Amino acid sequence: MKIAVYPGTFNPITNGHTDLVERAARLFDHIIVAVGINRQKTTTLSAQTRVELASQVLGHLPNVEVCAFDTLLTDFVKQRGANIILRGLRTVADFEYEFQLVGMNRVLEPSIETVFLAPAEHLSYISSTLVREIASYGGDISKFVHPVVAAAMMARAGQE
């Protein structure tokens, strides 16, 4: 069974993330969307909210599971019986950072492979950072995220 782990903060999950998971769901038997709890980052949405939103957005895919993790990624991948890390590449700028991660993960756990997928071209400009910024100013993010995510982000922006 080919199990892939797609890690990220998903703060929030965007249409680009969703496109990537849908593509991967056709390639792998099981996808674990691993919502990272990064101690170095402050997130706009709680880990629980990010897991709930991703679960709702990806609920139509029977071979996809969403969960949070707060361990070293390679340890999490091994614990879940996977040996593939799935990463998305939107731009050439992403590649340099991702290449560093691949090297580090190979040293930590040589048995784990990293597979890169690119989102559809019309989604490649979307980033969680830009979505958060637009939402913080009350802008319309409905073209970039699922409606449940847009509602959650707008509700949060209204609370600030």
Angle between helices 128-136 and 147-159 (to 10 degrees): 50
- For tokens 């990220």, the residue is 8
- Cβ atoms 42, 15 nearer than 8 A: no
Q: For 105-155, how does the pLDDT look when each residue is reduced to its tens digit (9 = 90+)?
A: 999 999 999 999 998 999 988 999 999 999 989 899 999 999 999 999 988
Which one of 90, 124, 127, 156 is the catalytic residue?
A: 90
Kindly tell me the burial class for residue 42, based on how many C-beta atoms sit within 10 Å of its own C-beta (0-12, 13-18, 19 or more): exposed
**Separation between Cα atoms, residue 61 and residue 34, nearest integer Å:** 15
Evaluate if residue 158 carries a pLDDT over 80. no
Please tell me the total count of domains within the chain.
1
Question: What does the mean pLDDT of the chain come to?
Answer: 93
Which one of 26, 39, 41, 111 is the catalytic residue?
A: 41
90 is catalytic: yes
Evaluate if residue 160 carries a pLDDT over 60. no
CATH of the domain at 105: 3.40.50.620
- State the pairing for strand pair 84-88/64-69: unpaired
Per-range mean pLDDT, top range of 11-15, 88-92, 155-159: 11-15
Q: Closest Cα to residue 6, out of 130, 120, 98?
A: 98
pLDDT at 44: 86
Which one of 50, 128, 132, 146 is the catalytic residue?
A: 128
41 is catalytic: yes
What residue numbers bound the domain in which 29 lies?
3-159
